[in-house]
Amino acid sequence: MIKFSIKLPSFFLLAALLFSACDNGDEPQPEDEFQLPSKIINKIEIDADGVKWFATEKGIVSFDGTNWTIFSDNDQLTNGAIFDITAKTNNNSADVWIGGKTGVSFFTKTENPVSITNYKKANSEILSDTIYAVGLNNNNTKFIGTAKGLSILENGNWTGFYGRESEPILKFFKITDIAATSGGSVYVSTQGGGVSRFVYTDAVSGATTLNLPWASGLVSENVFTVVVVNEIEQWYGTDAGAAHHTSESTKADWQSYSREDGLVCDTVYAIAQDKNGNMWFGTHKGISKFSGSTWINYTTKDGLVADKVNTVAVDTDGSLWFGTDKGISHFTNGIWETIE
């Protein structure tokens, strides 16, 4: 159900469109009848066309600014939780990759129902059918964080990678997020092992590990998210606050932030940078906005649907989307909108 804590702009008309890989002929539902298949939102991705993609505990939902679409009646999209989703726009269409409990799936966004390709151990060399994170680089190489390590798919060929040879953290710790730079660097965060950093062109090279005590500014080795700002600048969300790294040196150029600095909570699940350069942090107890000098915090008291924020995304119009365990919050020009 869609609710609004402040007056809804008149242009924001919502409808629900149900379809699957085979057109089932369902008509759009009335606005007030639309409901998410699950209120638990694990990831929000916004493609170059402004289409919003939501990974939920019960499948995928998209919103194009007018219509809400629930992908139904397809086991590859709805059989269990979807943990991550990423989209890359090419030639007026978006390639969408999703990962969950039943492998990694791929489809191309079109105006018509889509055909879906699913990769599992039964039909590929992927390391595991349980997928926690999916990332793409500029060359469209796929980095797939599985329960048993990182699977890399390039031009139909699969490679398994576990981290630095002396520290195979990707084999023993849960992969939580993947981010790639335009120059080829890839960052894979883990829960308990820190971050695996390497360069990928046509193979893995220069593998290192960002962990304690060397990467002292990382604060904790429980890293839930990594965001690449540019070739040498990254943000990390941990269970002990946020960490900011501004060079390729493992030991130097770190800055950490916690509740003492203004962060609403030290457990940071998601980070995004808006068009004005502000950093937004989704935490266990609300949202924090950091301008570089000042902090502003938002919780349910301000209009947020729930304080535990799993994912943050910046829309093409500059507005913010937040995914929680109790639905979605959309924040634009001081207006909070709730989608349940």
**CA-wise closest residue to 329 among 291, 298, 295:** 298
pLDDT in tens, 180-232: 998 999 999 999 999 999 999 989 999 999 999 999 899 999 999 999 999 89
In the chain, pLDDT over 70 holds for what percent of residues? Answer: 85
Q: Is the per-residue pLDDT at 100 higher than 60?
A: yes
DSSP H or E segment with residue 242 = strand 241-245
Range in 82-91, 236-245, 246-255 with the lowest mean pLDDT? 82-91
Provide the residue range defining the domain that includes 275. 2-339
**CA-wise closest residue to 314 among 264, 280, 338, 290:** 280
Q: Which residues, 6+ apart, have CB-to-CB distance to 301 below 8 Å? A: none
Measured from the Cβ of residue 184, the count of other Cβ atoms closer than 10 Å reads 18
Long-range contacts of 68-72 (CB under 8 A, 24+ apart): 68/14, 68/15, 68/16, 68/17, 68/34, 69/16, 69/17, 69/18, 69/19, 70/16, 70/17, 70/18, 70/37, 71/19, 71/20, 72/18, 72/19, 72/20, 72/24, 72/37
pLDDT in tens, 130-184: 999 999 998 889 999 999 999 999 999 999 999 999 999 999 999 999 999 989 9
On whether the CB atoms of residues 26 and 76 are closer than 8 A, the answer is no
Residue 46, classed as helix, strand or coil, is strand
CATH code for position 128: 2.130.10.10
For the chain, the 3-state helix, strand and coil shares in percent, each to the nearest 5, are 5, 50, 45
pLDDT of residue 8: 37
**CA-wise closest residue to 96 among 122, 69, 127:** 69
Q: Per-residue pLDDT averaged across 55-76, rounded?
A: 81
The domain total for the chain is: 1
272 class by beta-carbon count within 10 Å (0-12 exposed, 13-18 middle, 19+ buried) = buried
Distance, CA of 67 to CA of 15 (rounded, Å): 5
pLDDT of residue 150: 98
Q: Per-residue pLDDT averaged across 63-88, rounded?
A: 78
DSSP H or E segment with residue 270 = strand 268-273
**Which pTM value belongs to this model?**
0.89
Q: Is the per-residue pLDDT at 26 higher than 60?
A: no
- Average of per-residue pLDDT values in the chain: 87
332 or 26, which is more confident? 332
Q: Is the per-residue pLDDT at 15 higher than 60?
A: no
pLDDT of residue 95: 85
**CA-wise closest residue to 218 among 182, 198, 192:** 192
- Model confidence at 74, pLDDT cuts 50, 70, 90, reads low
Distance, CA of 190 to CA of 221 (rounded, Å): 8
**DSSP strand pairing (254-257 vs 268-273):** unpaired
Q: Is the per-residue pLDDT at 16 higher than 50?
A: no
Strand ranges inside 116-194, DSSP E: 117-119, 131-136, 142-146, 149-154, 157-161, 174-180, 185-191
- Model confidence at 72, pLDDT cuts 50, 70, 90, reads low
Distance, CA of 63 to CA of 252 (rounded, Å): 42
DSSP H or E segment with residue 88 = strand 82-90
Give Rg (Cα) of the chain: 19
On whether the CB atoms of residues 219 and 268 are closer than 8 A, the answer is no
